[in-house]
Structure 1
Amino acid sequence: MAKEATFTREGVVFEILPQSRFRVDMDEGARVLAQLSSKARRTARPLPGDRVVLEMTHYDEERGRILEVLR
């Protein structure tokens, strides 16, 4: 099965939620629910106000995966 098409966007962490989930304000103005990728879990956790890179799919543009924290 082929991997579905993904795209990356940048945003700012707005709120920290339980179970390693975050609310992220996108540069386009939308607010999405994001979780940490396994690679990002090994590095420092994002705090409110940190810029992050998200990976998203076209199927659900209200959720994403945090790939890295830009500090």
Structure 2
Amino acid sequence: MDNVSFTIEEENLICIYHKHDRRRTIAAISDALPDMDADMRPLAEQTIHKLHNMTDAAFEEAQFTMTISDAE
């Protein structure tokens, strides 16, 4: 599946844990799950699920951008 879209929060998480390829990025997020608080864990699990549903080629073509908001 190539048409996977990510929320800003998911993209930010991917940017934080981004590795050379999709599988390593999934592993990095998965490895961090035990250290995440209860609010972050569902976001990380949802992001992992979406990463599993995209192809390696789509991951390589994607341009993940860290978005910082000062709206808070």
Whose relative contact order is higher, 1 or 2, with alpha carbons under 8 Å and at least 6 apart?
Answer: 2
Fold shared by both chains (TM-score > 0.5): no
User: More strand by proportion, 1 or 2?
Assistant: 1
Short-chain TM bin = under 0.3
TM-score normalised by L of structure 2: 0.25
User: More helix by proportion, 1 or 2?
Assistant: 2
TM-score normalised by L of structure 1: 0.25
